[in-house]
A = this chain, B = another copy of it.
Amino acid sequence: MSKYKIGLFGFGCVGQGLYKTLSENNADAEIVKVCVKNKEKKRSIEAEKITYDAAEILNNEDINIIVELIDDAKAALEIVRAALKKGKAVVSANKKMVAENLDELIALQKQYETPLLYEGAVCGSIPIIRNLEDYYASEQIEEIKGIFNGSSNYILTKLFQEGKSYEEALGEAQANGFAETDPTLDVGGFDPKFKLSIILQHTFGIRQHPENIFNWGIQNISEKDIAFAKERNLKIKLLAKAHFDGKVLSTLVAPHFIDEQNPLYHVENEFNCVLINGKYASNQTLIGKGAGSLPTGLAVLSDVIALTQGYTYRYKSADFTSGGSQAVEVYLSFNDIEDIDKNAFTSISESYIGSDYGYIIGKIELEALQQLLNGSSGVNVVFTSGKQTEIEIPNLTYSYAN
């Protein structure tokens, strides 16, 4: 009999991944009960382990670890709250739930002296949260960024490598289990924003609610945008970025042009990549699968094992001011120039206007860009940064967050 008894919520892609990886490990932990919603679905676990009643797990005093792997962020929060209040250690892979409620979750952990771990919520198989908490705690990190969404990266790879249509590529990503139930979270750039919000806490000790992070996704990328990138030997990658100079924090999630010299150029399909830039070790790169049953299952399992070893997050904290006036340089494409308020740009270095497609490359404040995007239809934006340093596209140099 194991010392650690797990009550599992959700038996989808990641839940099954945990089940398999745990069954093949000799961890001092076993899944004793699994709570699922759908009574019709056939399950590959013993019937006596299945329950449809959350209370049956939460009120079971033998269960000392709750693993929460359901899609619904609201229901997940209820489960995690209840578990922590009962003194049960918790593992979650729900990035939306964690990112939106981190203040409360930190307070609950403190009040009930019960840990919550969520490695599986951030970049799938990449052990980023624990490395930030432990190894990089002594590093003076200035920038952290990367490809945080496997589903979008899979779609972009198919668009660029195989010339597939957006719809085809999205369908494939979903069929392969790389996309969340609601694809908007992935392709709209919300999912990487949740992850960035969580990462900020562990990198800089800064709490920033995801709703305060700019995001633009990949769902508006047109064939013309792809052609523009290909002509210049660039790819488009959806990046999440955070820069902190010790005082001012700049964050954003947006598609970026990336050139061949950039390590991110070579990160394809469902792979994620985290780039850490610090004062001592300069550039550190971590690449791994950002989605999928077993990769994310492994991350969840590593949290379970960490709990059995008494591991908890430390949650350092820092003062900061949010960088309200980020100047960025972007390629903005549109169907009709009449829809675009050109005055929103502080400078324009290049523009093209055709009958049903045009673009402007120029500098703009992030807030002005947000307003422009909100007020226009048929537009898309790609940021022109790519390299660790700077990338030039004709007549244009972009430097990030200054």
Task: List chain A positions with a Cβ less than 8 A from chain B.
Answer: 17, 21, 24-25, 27, 119, 124-127, 130-131, 134-140, 263, 266, 271, 278-289, 294-295, 297-298, 301-302, 305-306
Asked if B306 and A24 make an inter-chain contact with CB atoms under 8 angstroms apart, the answer reads no
* Shortest Cβ distance from residue A348 to the other chain B in the assembled complex, whole angstroms: 34
CB proximity of A224 to chain B, nearest CB, Å: 29
Partner pick for A138 among B25, B124, B271, CB 8 A cutoff: B25
Contact of A21 among B138, B271, B288, B305 (CB under 8 A): B138
Please indicate the chain B residues that have their CB under 8 angstroms from the CB of A138 in the complex. 21, 25, 27, 298, 301-302, 305
B286, A286: Cβ atoms closer than 8 Å: yes
Q: How many copies does the complex hold?
A: 2
Residue of B nearest to A296 (CB): B281
Q: Which chain B residues lie closer than 8 Å to A126 at the CB level?
A: 284
In this complex, which of A17, A125, A301, A305 has the most chain B Cβ atoms within 10 angstroms of its Cβ? Answer: A125
Q: A281 near B298 (CB under 8 angstroms)?
A: yes
> Please, how many angstroms separate the alpha-carbon atoms of A318 and B130 in the complex?
26
- The 8 Å CB contact of A288, one of B130, B137, B285, B288, is B285
Asked if residues A125 and B288 are in contact (CB atoms below 8 Å), the reply is: no
Chain B residues lying within 8 Å of A25, measured Cβ to Cβ, are 138
**Nearest-CB residue, chain B, relative to A295:** B281
The 14 sampled A-B contact pairs (Cβ below 8 Å) are A21-B280, A25-B138, A119-B135, A125-B284, A127-B134, A127-B135, A134-B302, A134-B306, A263-B287, A282-B289, A283-B289, A284-B287, A285-B286, A286-B286
Provide the residues of chain B in CB contact with A283, threshold 8 Å: 271, 287-289
Which residues from chain B contact A288 at a C-beta distance below 8 Å? Answer: 281, 283-285
Q: Give 3 nearest A-B pairs by CB, closest first.
A: A125-B281, A285-B287, A127-B135
Q: Does A289 contact B298, Cβ atoms closer than 8 Å?
A: no
Minimum Cβ distance to chain B for residue A389 (Å):
15
A137 nearest CB neighbor, chain B only? B305
Closest to A297 in B: B280
Measured between C-beta atoms, what is the minimum distance from A293 to chain B in Å?
A: 9
Measured CA separation A134–B135 after assembly (Å): 12
Q: CB-CB < 8 A to A24: which residues of B?
A: 140
For residue A301, which residue of chain B has the nearest CB? B138
Q: Considering the chains assembled together, what is the distance between the CA atoms of A304 and B191 in angstroms?
A: 36
Determine how close the nearest CB of chain B comes to the CB of A132; give it in whole angstroms: 11
How close is A37's CB to chain B, nearest CB, in angstroms?
A: 26
Which one, B263, B289, B294, B298, contacts A266 given CB within 8 A?
B263
The distance in angstroms between the C-alpha atoms of A297 and B294, with both chains bound, is 35
Give the distance in Å from the alpha carbon of A108 to the alpha carbon of B288 in the complex: 36
Chain B residues with Cβ below 8 Å from A306 are 134
Residue from A263, A281, A283, A294 with most neighbouring chain B CB atoms (10 Å): A281
